[in-house]
Amino acid sequence: MEIVDLACQPEPIRAQAAVLLVDHFDEPRGWPTVALARDEVVRVLRDGFARAMLDGEVLLGWIGGQPEYGGRVWELHPLVVRREDRGRGLGRTLVGKFGAEAARRGALTLTLGTDDDSGMTSLAGVDLYGDVPRHIAELHDLGRGHPFLFYPKLGFVVTGVMPDANGRGRPDIYMSKPAQC
């Protein structure tokens, strides 16, 4: 296995990157069509960078980084690991590579949004405006293993929510950590 720059990979590997966005997201949902996913791969590479985990000619997963706030903040987007390769530390490795490259590019903060578009967390279907800090403090998974549980293992903490980002009662969960050189 090796980690490579997705921008330098031939078209068949980039095509696999798009297919992963469609076929290897569960909840939260992935991209609805390969055409839209291909557009996303192009956009990520145009606006930022991406790193890919390859096993020969097979793409096992990939991660993108996008600059925000004049490059002081880099957003992790997207991240996907093939279903059959999960639980082996690939996600952790990819996030590490993302963090190192973002820091090299001047990031002070690494950030991401992890959608709860399918009622997986305690933030779903509630009036977040009533008491945002309490809802964040009491955030918990409802049993299906939302990815917000993954990121704290890598040092990210919840820094906010975007109510109704995916429709009424379906928020985005913002998480961040300091970038380290």
**Binding residues for ligand COA, per CB under 6 A?**
25, 28, 79-81, 86-92, 114, 145, 147, 149-150, 153
Q: Is 56 exposed, middle or buried (0-12, 13-18, 19+ CB in 10 A)?
A: exposed
Closest approach of Cβ 81 to ligand COA, in Å? 4
Closest approach of Cβ 145 to ligand COA, in Å? 4
Q: Smaller CB distance to ligand COA: residue 1 or 106?
A: 1
Tokens describing residue 122 = 């305690």
Closest approach of Cβ 123 to ligand COA, in Å? 14
Q: Smaller CB distance to ligand COA: residue 20 or 107?
A: 20
CA angle 64/14/104 to nearest 5° reads: 30
Closest approach of Cβ 150 to ligand COA, in Å? 4
Q: Smaller CB distance to ligand COA: residue 76 or 107?
A: 76
Q: Smaller CB distance to ligand COA: residue 38 or 64?
A: 64
* Residue 60 · residue 81 · CB < 8 Å: yes
DSSP state, 138? T
In terms of Cα–Cα distance, which of 33, 91, 36 is closest to 60? 91
* Residue 24 · residue 80 · CB < 8 Å: yes
In terms of Cα–Cα distance, which of 28, 176, 180, 51 is closest to 112? 176
Closest approach of Cβ 144 to ligand COA, in Å? 8
Which residue sits closest to ligand COA, CB atoms considered? 91
